[in-house]
Amino acid sequence: MSQPSERRAKTAEELQGIYAEMASTFDRFEAVDRLLVGPHRRRLFSRAEGQVLDVACGTGINFPYLADGVDLVGIDLSPAMLASARDRTRTLGVDADLRQADAADLPFDDDAFDAVISSLSTCTFPDPVAVLREMDRVCAPDGRILLLEHGRSSVGPVARFQDWWAPRHFERHGCRWNQDPADVVAEAGLEATEVRRSLLGILTSMVVRPTAAEP
């Protein structure tokens, strides 16, 4: 079985193709996400304050869970996902600066954000370690990086199914669904100060300390 890190990374063009097809699926299955993942999104992302960057914001599914009054910037590689996110800001009546950008090369100054958030995306980034280092760079030293990620289950049979299906899942969706997101954070040289697993250990919420933070 190939390990998650051994598979050839998808190119930006391949990912844009995948998400051009999947954007409407995300909208259709939003009720399921709200039920299963929504409480975790709310618990974690309602802690974001001030200038907030949502990295790989997708269809903007995190936006309803953010506190009132945050200054929101969202980036994503996929024009189709961003189009849904723009619709959502209109429906919610929130102001947001949404841009197409590569998460591994964020178009922002160092320390620009009080909170950098991201959900269900380190599995898809071609170079997740580079993205985490970019999140760290743009996060203020007294800010925080909030990650809600999915990965290999802590329940044996579920994990074995994920391992068995992982090559096909990656081929189709560009998603390494049996990686451990906490390993990726550690590989980027970052420290998670809070780690919380849920949904059979598939979902991991993490609060990550910027490397420039006071000890």
Tracing tokens 């074995």 back to the chain, one arrives at: 160
What is the number of residues in the chain?
Answer: 215
Could you tell me which of 27, 26, 48 has the C-alpha nearest to residue 135? 48
Distance, CA of 131 to CA of 19 (rounded, Å): 19
Q: Are 104 and 134 in contact (CB under 8 A)?
A: yes
User: Which range, of 55-63, 65-73, 133-141, 184-192, touches ligand SAM by CB under 6 A?
Assistant: 55-63
Nearest distance in Å: CB 103, ligand SAM: 3
Q: Is 84 in the site for ligand SAM (CB under 6 A)?
A: no
Site for ligand SAM in 13-42 (CB under 6 A): 15, 19
Nearest distance in Å: CB 214, ligand SAM: 30
Interface residue with ligand SAM among 63, 73, 74, 76 (CB under 6 A) is 76
- Chain centroid to Cα 171, Å, comes to 19
Interior angle at CA 144, CA 75 and CA 127, nearest 5: 50
In terms of CB distance, is 119 or 179 closer to ligand SAM? 119
Q: Is 125 in the site for ligand SAM (CB under 6 A)?
A: yes
Report the interface residues with ligand SAM, using CB under 6 A: 15, 19, 56-58, 61, 76-78, 81, 102-104, 119-121, 124-125
